[in-house]
Amino acid sequence: MKKQGHAAAACAAGLVMALTTGMALSAPINFNQTWYAQHGPEDDFAARAGWDAGNQAAPQAFVAATQKLTAARAFESIAALGFDSGRSWTPIGPTVGNVPGPVTYTGAPSVVSGRVTSLAVSNVCGKSSCVALLGAAGGGVWKTSNALANAPDWHPVSAGLDTNSIGSLLYDPNDRSGSTVYAGTGEPNGSSDSEAGLGLYKSTDGGEHWSLAPGSFDAAHDRAIATIAVDPANSRHLWIGTAVARHGSSAVNGGRFTPPDAPTIGLYESIDGGLHFSLVFSVDSDTVDPTSPNGSDFFRGGVSKIVPYRQPGKDSFTQIYFSVFDYGLYRSTRGHQFEQVFVGAGAGAVEASLDARTEFALAPMGDKLRIYLGDVGSAPADFYRTDNANVTAASLRTGGTNRGWIKLSNSTPGTSGFSSYDFCQGQCSYDMFVATPPGRPDTVWLGGSMQYEELFGPSNGRAVVRSTNAGRSFTDMTNDIVQDPAPNGMHPDQHALAFLPGFGDAALIGSDGGVVRTSGAYANGNSDCASRGLKGADLVDCQNWLSVIPTRIAAINAGLNTLQFQGLAVNERDPRNDIIGGTQDNGTWAFDRKTHSWFESVGGDGGLAAISSQTGIRMHTYFSPAPDVNFNGNDVLSWDWTGDPLQASGEGASFYVPLIADQKLAGTFFIGLQHVWRTTDNGGPKADLDTHCNEYFGDFTITCGDWVPLGGALGSTAGDLTGPAYGTDKSGSYVVSISRARPENAPLWVGTRRGRLFISTNAHAPDPGSVTYRRIDTAAQPTRFISGIAIDADNPLRAFVSFSGYDAYTPTTPGHVFEVTYDPKTGTAKWKDLSAGIGDQPILGIAYDAESRHLYVATDFGVLIHGGAGWLSAARGIPPVAVYQLVLDQGSHLLYAATHGRGIYRLEGD
């Protein structure tokens, strides 16, 4: 999900969003607490899909696996040429993600980091030394030798990894020293920014250095390795499960496409230690529709988890169980065949591809095998158990009936089964785990998103729940018993759990907000239910859910520089010290010039932000067209909601919308939906917004915000830049890029998701309805996502335009970077393709320094520069990480990179 404060995004004590609760648009929050934003589907609000996965070709349409290491090799081939400017990027944080109390769900200050996808704890784990590895969605692999310390000493261990997108980690169970570790690259979670990987990597020194398992590249490039398994009787016998993931996401979300040579997703096996892998199991998966805006291939057929099970008896063999998105649970047989033992609610249907997922955990009980299983299709998630899986498949499943399984969940509040019902709250393809500690078959943990409507009501949100009676009932692990000043809580959107060997079911738990550690000890907290005003079934549920909660939840994120920035904004009057930026599910962050540290200024999903250099007034966005304004710098309590007109419009919009401040006209901001919308007074009169629309204290009795559409009234065709008024080609979707140079009457440049490019020479007109646009793209340019527009500061009629996606899908109209010069006399533009030598890789953002004449572009692996003689690497100092946005301050020539997994970097001017 996308939220604020903890792992998933979050807020403090109760919040509800107008979009998700049906409240009146004038009252986006029903308790006077900070905003939280739920993680909706990706673009179009209809799909939590991955994104464009990357290959590069030039001049071919795409590159065979033998020719490259996916898009990384296109980048690396340029990087090999070097860039001798002598300049190097400097990381500027955040390394400690400080979250003030008002921005967390509970009110207790916390520390967060970016999304955690995988955790692994070595058997070398004791009170004085406990080695653990953490995999971050875009931030690589991190290691600590003291996972039980108050402040573990996390440090990055990504040497040898060609990508920092991590999906899975596993210690070899046969190596008791903890030296042999595997990392599967690419993130399998069903989100728009689940980035593709390059294969399986192995370490023989405890994770300090990595090398590619050679056979895994052909099996898993441009996919995610969701899971890894090693035969407990033979270290050379490996399995990996691959799933859908992509490249090409950027600050504003748009289309995504899997490249044409991405391997089949499914179960792969190696019997020679990873030198070769063979596809041994696959089912139907979605195919790419090149004519759609996003490819329309989702998660059906991906293998999300593999668990080996050593069959008991003299003739024992290693059997594997594995779960498949949309289909259910399968296992291998003695004859090296595969059989389905649970039919998922999605039943393998195409229409369920976006939402259906199955997760499980094995709990051996002597000669019997218990399995816990969570499953979801189009309806809310349910929870199941079978106590003797060592029977024939027909005993477990007959046709579409899971006859051998006990359904433990139900939809009736006040009953024990309700405690596990809907545990991943409608987005299970994104956040869902089932785990049981070794040797404790009656204990099982479930992780999901968060039950926001239950917060501080019948539950604490149920982000994670735990059962000790074999799943018949669960209690809420989300908050601990501490009350000084408030409980410590978990972040929404749970992805991974690793138990701490030798410490019962104490665990590390990873989510969108990083990692927390539970104490393994529990207390009764249900006395708090009496003060919540509950009755009937809600009171019964509360007393149950809070009857056993952790004594301590510790956020152990300090030092993890893994926040996933969507974008950033700098104040031109103080470009070194006045910086804000939105992050995935962890709100919008601000740099504190006094302490030289970062803090989360506002929670929820953090999208694009903007600062007026004239006044210092700033805006940020959550997901969707949902802006706040702050008239008091970055003060946590001063954010005012201004999004009512945008929300009420019903227009299509990206998951993260484009937002800019006019740097000449104080009070003027632009935001993109199907129209470009404008405010000329910071979203509304300060007195009215502070009184009625403040996110904490407002009464929301007025319309909050005064945004107006440019080019015609809402519903008119003239201002809808995606509609038929501007032709039938490249139509639909929404605005994804807006840019304007500094001069007062400079034109406004606008790009859409499907590749339309517009220029307006009167965007400053007092009458918004009189604003006109000229469409300046032609059939010769790609029908693809425009990821950035960088205007020449010396000539506002000249700009550089970047496109995401792949030439392979638009072979007759290739190109990734163009120089565009508009002639107002003819109303046409001259296009020059600058893509030669860049390879067929998505470009995520762009910046142009008019003084040095350097053009910079962002990719999934770093930054490139064009100085007139071709493309060179400008990535010195940045690890191989997706850069979602580049922001150049023309005055100081400081260039900032918002990375999606390693924080923010700065490059000093020439």
Above pLDDT 70, what percent of the chain?
91
Retrieve residue 475's tokens: 């209690």
| Alpha-carbon gap, residue 163 to 185, rounded angstroms | 7
Which of 4-13, 145-154, 493-502 shows the lowest per-residue confidence on average (mean pLDDT)?
A: 4-13
pLDDT for residue 35 = 22
What letter represents residue 522's amino acid? Y
pLDDT for residue 82 = 66
Strand pairing report for 166-171 and 155-156: unpaired
Alpha helices (runs of H) in 110-228, residue ranges in sequence order:
216-220
pLDDT for residue 191 = 87
CB atoms within 10 A of CB 211: 13
| Alpha-carbon gap, residue 119 to 141, rounded angstroms | 10
| Alpha-carbon gap, residue 626 to 603, rounded angstroms | 13
Question: CA geometry: angle at 563 spanning 558 and 568, to 5°?
Answer: 130
Which of the two residues, 320 and 291, has the higher pLDDT score? 320
Identify the CA nearest to 840 among candidates 26, 257, 44, 14: 257
Please give the backbone phi and psi of residue 70, each rounded to the nearest 5 degrees, phi first. 45, -155
Identify the CA nearest to 39 among candidates 65, 23, 19: 19
Quick one: DSSP state of residue 209? B
pLDDT tens, position by position, 665-724 = 999 999 999 999 999 999 999 999 999 999 999 999 999 999 999 998 887 788 999 999
| Alpha-carbon gap, residue 257 to 189, rounded angstroms | 16
pLDDT for residue 85 = 59
pLDDT score of 539 more than 80: yes
Residue 385 · residue 372 · CB < 8 Å = yes
pLDDT band for position 83 (50/70/90)? Answer: low
pLDDT for residue 433 = 98
pLDDT band for position 145 (50/70/90)? Answer: very high
Q: Please provide the average confidence, as pLDDT, over all residues in the chain.
A: 90
Quick one: DSSP state of residue 736? E
| DSSP codes, 337-380 | -EEEEEE-TTTT-GGGTTT-EEEEEEEEETTEEEEEEEEESSSP
pLDDT for residue 712 = 87
Residue 222 · residue 163 · CB < 8 Å = no
pLDDT for residue 399 = 80
Polymer length of the chain: 910
pLDDT tens, position by position, 418-468 = 999 999 988 999 999 999 999 999 999 999 999 999 999 999 999 999 999
10 Å CB burial of residue 650 (0-12, 13-18, 19+) is exposed
Identify the CA nearest to 621 among candidates 597, 601, 604: 604
Identify the CA nearest to 589 among candidates 118, 96, 214: 96
Which of the two residues, 906 and 870, has the higher pLDDT score? 906
Residue 449 CA to chain centroid, in angstroms? Answer: 13
Neighbouring-strand partners of residue 549: 523
b or e along 672-685 (b: 16 or more beta carbons within 10 Å of the residue's beta carbon)?
bbbbbbbbbebbbe
Residue 154 · residue 97 · CB < 8 Å = no
Question: CA geometry: angle at 612 spanning 611 and 618, to 5°?
Answer: 45
| DSSP codes, 679-733 | ESSTTS-HHHHHHH-BTTT----S-----EESSSSTT-SSS-TTSGGG-STT-SS
Question: Residues 6 or more apart from 812 whose CB is under 8 A from it?
Answer: none
CB atoms within 10 A of CB 632: 15
Which of 39-43, 103-107, 338-342, 371-375 shows the lowest per-residue confidence on average (mean pLDDT)?
A: 39-43
pLDDT for residue 378 = 84
HSE (CB half, 13 Å, CA atoms) of 774?
16
Residue 616 · residue 573 · CB < 8 Å = yes
| Alpha-carbon gap, residue 154 to 775, rounded angstroms | 51
Retrieve residue 526's tokens: 């249900």
Question: Residues 6 or more apart from 151 whose CB is under 8 A from it?
Answer: 556, 558, 559
User: To 10 degrees, the CA torsion angle through 848, 854, 858, 863?
Assistant: -150
| Alpha-carbon gap, residue 473 to 788, rounded angstroms | 51
pLDDT band for position 10 (50/70/90)? Answer: very low
Retrieve residue 58's tokens: 């030039």
Mean pLDDT of 520-534: 96
pLDDT for residue 66 = 35
pLDDT for residue 79 = 75
Cα Rg, the chain, nearest whole Å: 26
pLDDT score of 646 more than 60: yes
Residue 570 · residue 594 · CB < 8 Å = no
Retrieve residue 398's tokens: 């007959």
Strand pairing report for 406-407 and 433-435: unpaired
pLDDT tens, position by position, 664-680 = 999 999 999 999 999 99
Above pLDDT 90, what percent of the chain?
82
pLDDT tens, position by position, 598-641 = 999 999 999 999 999 999 999 999 999 999 999 999 999 999 99
pLDDT for residue 700 = 98
For residue 205, give Cα distances in angstroms to 158, 423, 479.
Answer: 12, 38, 36
Identify the CA nearest to 182 among candidates 163, 166, 165, 164: 166
Stated pTM of the model: 0.92
| Alpha-carbon gap, residue 844 to 788, rounded angstroms | 7
